[in-house]
Amino acid sequence: MTLKVDICVVGGGPAGMAAAEMAARHGRSVALLDERPSAGGQIYRGLEDGPFSRSEALGADYRQGADVISRFRSARVTSFFGVDLWRIDMSETGGVASFVHDGASSRLAFGDLILATGAMERPVPFEGWTLPGVMGVGVAQLLLKTSAIAPSGRIALAGNGPLLLLFATQLLKLGVEISAILDTSPRISRIAAVLEHARGLASNAGKVLKGAGYIRAVRRAGVSVYRDVSSLSASGGDRISSIAFEAEGGARKIDVDALLVHEGIIPNTQLSRALGCRHIWDAAQKCLRPEIDAFGESSVARVFIVGDGAAITGAVAAPASAEIAVGRILDRLGHGGAELGLSLRRASRTLSRERAFRPFLDALYPPRLSVAAPDDATILCRCEEVTAGMLRAAIKDGAIGPSQAKAFTRCGMGACQGRVCGPIVSQLMSAETGRSIGDIGSYNVRYPLKPITLQDMARSGDDARPAGGEHAA
């Protein structure tokens, strides 16, 4: 099947839904593709079909997503959820997306592409992080939203950041006991941080009060909080049974049944890198992100990147960035006007306000465990079981970048295609060679983006390939 539209949106989270709804409202034909089974993205996951779709248990922010989804669903948008998007080919006149949906191979021809691929949890490698019972906070929250499944027994949370605190309060509200929180935030003067970022805090007072509420909820529950945690390891047989760590200058060890780890999120750049978009190193957020202009357009013409897939700014900023990108597309087509101008000015103010708050969070919650040098026995690539020691050996043997390291060790050749180990590999190679991560770069992402059968590839056909488009296998 081949469908032709004006705009293709990849991602059904806050940014993707806002982009699709706005473009459709202004008369453009739009198709939205998402690998998830329903709308909402990670932040509103399960609101359409999950166990908390009619519950207030996960908080007011989660419930607000119902209105966002409702507006999207009422728009004239062709939606494909539960897809396996395996390649996109671009040319000067547009592009073609190839994907599998409901067992059928399909192709979508479009003029402009908006990537709203969101973020992924920053990988945090440490000894024992592959043991059963150890998982990311984001993954644990996903299980909760989709299946009402929460860890049981003695639960510890390790890391820092707003999501960790939010999830802790959600668990406590649902009656789940937390044994300990290991706070990896470094010791800094919070007063100095507040003074330095006073302007951004003043325009985001609600967020400050919300964060303070999370902290109070943890204190009221009597959860043991270990601060200034600088190292972590997990041990056990068939599954995790204990963790050891350094906290406030002393060695500690506690027994646990589950360990949930989180040190922030980073842009999901798998697709933008596959398309050849330029990426830059963000020193503040310690991650690679796409290089975009003021309207969200990347270095590849007609490819716009919005929301957390462009830079981590949060669920309120994501729709604003999407509206600015759609406004740029409409303006080029001559579809301006007073109403559009007003909405774009409103979106720009929202985006500026949200961006002003981010430096405070970056200063307060920098990654710590995830940027520490792992010991040689720590597994970096879970798929291929490549250790830090094996990667260091490859570097000594002449591997100067992630692609060479992949050839030497098979690191990144597993089912996740380097999504998890990619940032870890780049970081370790930078530390070992003294070169910047911007210079080291990242894995070269090649199609297919997801595992796919040869039959599905053959069925996709060549009928909708854009003029001048080539398959860069």
Rounded-to-integer distance, Cα 95 and Cα 213, Å: 47
Please give the average per-residue pLDDT across 423-449, as a whole number: 93
User: What is the model's pLDDT at position 467?
Assistant: 45
Average pLDDT over residues 3-13: 97
88, 175 Cβ separation under 8 angstroms: no
* CA 262 to the chain's CA centroid: 12
- Are the C-beta atoms of residues 71 and 423 closer than 8 Å to each other? no
pLDDT digits (tens, 9 = 90+) for 335-371: 878 888 899 999 999 999 999 999 999 999 999 999 9
Distance, C-alpha 46 to centroid of its chain: 17
Residue 48 confidence (pLDDT) above 90: yes
- At residue 464 the predicted structure's pLDDT band, cuts being 50, 70 and 90, is very low
Q: How many helices and strands, by DSSP H and E, does the chain display?
A: 15, 23
Is 62:47 a contact under the CB 8 Å cutoff? yes
Token representation of residue 325: 């990108």
The answer to whether the Cα torsion of 251, 254, 259, 260 is positive or negative is: negative
Q: Residue 1: what pLDDT?
A: 65
Model pLDDT, residue 190: 82
DSSP 395: H
Asked if the model's pLDDT at residue 468 lies above 50, the reply is no
Q: What are the pLDDT digits (tens) for 189-225?
A: 888 888 899 999 999 999 999 999 999 999 999 999 9
Tell me if the bond preceding 466 is cis, omega within 30° of 0: no
Q: What is the rounded distance in angstroms from the CA atom of residue 70 to the CA atom of residue 146?
A: 19
Q: Which CATH number fits domain 373-440: 3.90.1150.10, 3.40.50.1450, 3.40.50.970, 1.10.10.1100?
A: 1.10.10.1100
CATH code for the domain defined by 2-120+266-361: 3.50.50.60
Which pTM does this prediction carry? Answer: 0.94
Closest to 163 measured CA to CA, from 58, 11, 15, 56: 58
Would you kindly state where each structural domain of the chain is located, as residue ranges? 2-120+266-361, 123-263, 373-440
Helical axes 162-173 vs 205-220, angle rounded to 10° = 50
d(CA 199, CA 307): 23
- What are the tens digits of pLDDT across the range 365-410? 999 999 999 999 999 999 999 999 999 999 999 999 999 999 999 9
Q: Which strand (E) or helix (H) includes residue 342?
A: helix 338-364
Residue the block writes with tokens 């671009």 = 90
Is residue 303 within 8 A of residue 90, CB to CB? The reply is yes
> Which runs of consecutive H residues, i.e. helices, occur in 74-153?
137-147
Measured in degrees and rounded to the nearest 5, phi and psi for residue 17 equal -65, -40
- Fold matches, 2-120+266-361 and 123-263: yes
Q: In whole numbers, what is the pLDDT of the chain averaged over residues?
A: 93
Query: pLDDT tens across 103-152, in order?
Result: 899 999 999 999 999 999 999 999 999 999 999 999 999 999 999 999 99
Q: For residues 278 and 203, what is the distance between their CA atoms, to the nearest angstrom?
A: 32
| Alpha carbons within 13 A on the beta-carbon side of 358 | 19
pLDDT over threshold 90, residue 472? no
Kindly report the number of other CB atoms within 10 A of residue 422's CB atom. 24
pLDDT recorded at residue 462: 54
CATH of domain 123-263: 3.50.50.60
Cβ(160)–Cβ(368) below 8 Å: yes
Give start and end residues of each alpha helix (H) in 365-420: 388-396, 402-409
Alpha-carbon span 413 to 18, nearest angstrom: 35
What was the pLDDT predicted at 422? 95
